[in-house]
């Protein structure tokens, strides 16, 4: 870890993102940067290993924190569609809408249950690589369903930049990409299932 003002560290430019805009992302160059020993974390040369080890926690954290966001968005959508009257009756009274919200809530519960099981096993000292990867995959997919589904029922208001649904839609799209993309999760799960083809040495 080095302070940004360290010699050789150059912040080239701040990158503009679709979502997660309260967290800056920038292109940074490191050129012959001297890192004082007191700024190192753990053992030198072990960074990759530490990163791989911490992924289980990061992926579980990502999955369970998605649950709260999805619940909040569904609750906000219920409130909005109950208030919003179209042709004299609340939008929520349309079966297609309350059924869809029930379906989305069910998806959220599935993610929650998977996370709880994975966390319990993790606390017991079990290797939860498979469950954490499944939870991360499922949470990313559920977020896409929930944010897209909810945005639809906010109509034009949901398409406005500052609406909570639009923000959730933009921010949550990262979940299927960051921390290892969905396809990488599928690769890990396949590997642990023993179905991943072995690479032939040339």
Ligand X SMILES: Cc1cc2nc3c(=O)[nH]c(=O)nc-3n(C[C@H](O)[C@H](O)[C@H](O)COP(=O)(O)OP(=O)(O)OC[C@H]3O[C@@H](n4cnc5c(N)ncnc54)[C@H](O)[C@@H]3O)c2cc1C
Binding site for ligand X (CB under 6 A): 17, 20, 25, 174, 177-181, 183-184, 187
For residues 107 and 144, the answer to whether their CB atoms sit within 8 Å is no
Contacts of 178 (CB under 8 A, 6+ apart): 62
Nearer to ligand X, 41 or 123 (CB): 41
22, two tokens = 């309260």
Nearer to ligand X, 155 or 179 (CB): 179
Q: Which one of the listed residues 44, 58, 120, 121 is annotated catalytic? A: 58
Q: What are phi and psi of 33, to 5 degrees?
A: -80, 130
Q: CA-to-CA distance for 42 and 46, rounded, in angstroms?
A: 7
Residue nearest to ligand X (CB): 183
Q: How far is the CB of 17 from ligand X (least distance, A)?
A: 6
Q: How far is the CB of 33 from ligand X (least distance, A)?
A: 18
Instruction: Respond yes or no: is residue 58 known to be catalytic.
Output: yes
Q: How far is the CB of 81 from ligand X (least distance, A)?
A: 31
Kindly provide the b/e burial profile for residues 83-94, where b requires at least 16 CB atoms within 10 angstroms of the residue's own CB.
eeeeeeeebbee
Q: Which residues are catalytic?
A: 58
């Amino acid at each position: 870890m080095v302070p940004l003002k360290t010699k050789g560290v150059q912040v080239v430019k701040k990158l503009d993102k679709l979502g997660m805009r309260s967290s800056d992302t920038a292109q940074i160059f490191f050129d012959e940067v001297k890192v004082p020993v007191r700024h190192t974390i753990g053992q030198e040369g072990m960074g990759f290993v530490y990163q791989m080890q911490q992924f289980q926690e990061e992926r579980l954290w990502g999955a369970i924190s998605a649950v709260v966001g999805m619940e909040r968005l569904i609750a906000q959508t219920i409130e909005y569609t109950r208030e919003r009257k179209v042709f004299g009756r609340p939008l929520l009274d349309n079966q297609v809408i309350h059924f869809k919200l029930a379906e989305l809530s069910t998806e959220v519960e599935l993610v929650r249950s998977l996370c709880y099981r994975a966390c319990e096993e993790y606390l017991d000292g079990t290797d939860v690589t498979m469950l954490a990867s499944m939870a991360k995959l499922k949470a990313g997919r559920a977020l896409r369903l929930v944010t897209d589904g909810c945005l639809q029922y906010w109509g034009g208001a949901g398409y406005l930049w500052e609406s909570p649904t639009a923000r959730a839609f933009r921010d949550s799209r990262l979940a299927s990409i960051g921390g290892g993309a969905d396809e990488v999760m599928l690769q890990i799960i396949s590997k642990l299932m023993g179905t991943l083809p072995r690479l032939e040495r040339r």
